[in-house]
């Protein structure tokens, strides 16, 4: 016989895809709490993704931030953090991306190419070349410098900050000119 969790998981998560108002999403959050589904990383990730990426409003983005901060998970997933870093990097609050990157490190999670791509975008939006350069160094150290999204983010960040030489160096190092 199927458990209550397995019966309720699908319909509740499916509702996330069709709801449009923050109020409805908060009601779904309540149902996830009632059915103890927020212990499941998949359910929490799905709710955070819907709130932060698909429901494009500052209120839902901040709600997803608080949801992860007060998560019932003892160790949130890298996916959840990356989702928030991505959403905040495109929002009026890109500085929150830096905070979530610090939380990734505090939870001893390993940043991946998505983390660095979104973090570099946030640094570009904030005009924080110093922190962006540190993200560049960390991406190099972890071997993500060859990722096309990380590379294009670096080129964009350096170009937007007026550091065209650094932008050219990134482009040249990653795409050396063909020798005759």
Whole-structure pTM value? 0.82
- What does the alpha-carbon distance between residue 100 and residue 96 come to, in Å, rounded to a whole number? 6
- What does the alpha-carbon distance between residue 160 and residue 92 come to, in Å, rounded to a whole number? 18
pLDDT of residue 85: 96
| 18-27 pLDDT tens trace | 776 888 888 8
Whether 116 contacts 101, CB under 8 Å: no
| 54-103 pLDDT tens trace | 766 888 888 888 888 877 566 788 999 999 999 999 999 999 999 999 99
Per cent of the chain over pLDDT 70 is: 87
């Amino acid at each position: 016989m199927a458990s209550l969790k397995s019966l309720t998981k699908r319909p509740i998560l499916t509702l996330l895809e069709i709801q449009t108002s923050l109020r409805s999403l908060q009601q779904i959050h309540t149902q996830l709490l009632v059915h103890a589904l927020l212990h499941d990383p998949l359910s929490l990730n799905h709710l955070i993704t819907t709130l932060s990426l698909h429901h494009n409003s500052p209120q839902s983005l901040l709600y997803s931030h608080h949801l992860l901060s007060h998560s019932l998970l003892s160790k949130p997933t890298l996916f959840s953090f990356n989702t928030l870093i991505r959403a905040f990097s495109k929002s009026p609050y890109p500085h929150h991306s830096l905070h979530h990157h610090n939380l990734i490190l505090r939870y001893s999670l390993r940043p991946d190419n998505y983390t660095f791509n979104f973090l570099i975008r946030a640094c570009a939006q904030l005009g924080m070349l110093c922190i962006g350069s540190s993200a560049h160094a960390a991406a190099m150290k972890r071997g993500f410098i060859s990722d096309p999204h990380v590379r294009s983010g670096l080129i964009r960040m350096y170009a937007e900050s007026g550091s065209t030489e650094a932008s050219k160096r990134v482009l040249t190092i990653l795409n050396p000119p063909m020798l005759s």
